[in-house]
Amino acid sequence: MFYYTYLLQSSKDDNLYIGWCKDLNKRIEEHNKGLVEATKYRRPLSLIYFEACLNEKDAILREKQLKTGFGRAYLKRRLNF
């Protein structure tokens, strides 16, 4: 079983959303159905990056790292933004 840290991009405003989950496909579906408060007005959303972790703790830690200035800079370099 994996846990995922993921990055979504809004087609509406090009903003990015970073999160973590246990079931990546289900979570993306929830985002695009408007069931997630943080992104419901930014739909549709596309998965543009994810990392798999072996446990929940690591996925949460990675999410926190990616939400920092250094983490966002890493993602911009990694994804050529």
Domain span holding position 8 = 3-79
Count of the separate structural domains present in the chain:
1
Which residues are bridge partners to 18 per DSSP?
A: 7
Q: What is the pLDDT of residues 24-68, one digit of tens each?
A: 999 999 999 999 999 999 999 999 999 999 999 999 999 999 999
Token pair listed for 26:
């289900």
Token pair listed for 28:
């993306």
Token pair listed for 61:
């830690």
Can you give the CATH number for the domain in which 16 is found?
A: 3.40.1440
Residue 81 confidence class, pLDDT cut points 50, 70, 90: confident
DSSP class of 80: T
For every residue of 9-48, DSSP letters joined together read EETTT--EEEEEES-HHHHHHHHHTT-STTTTTS-SEEEE
Token pair listed for 33:
């159905």
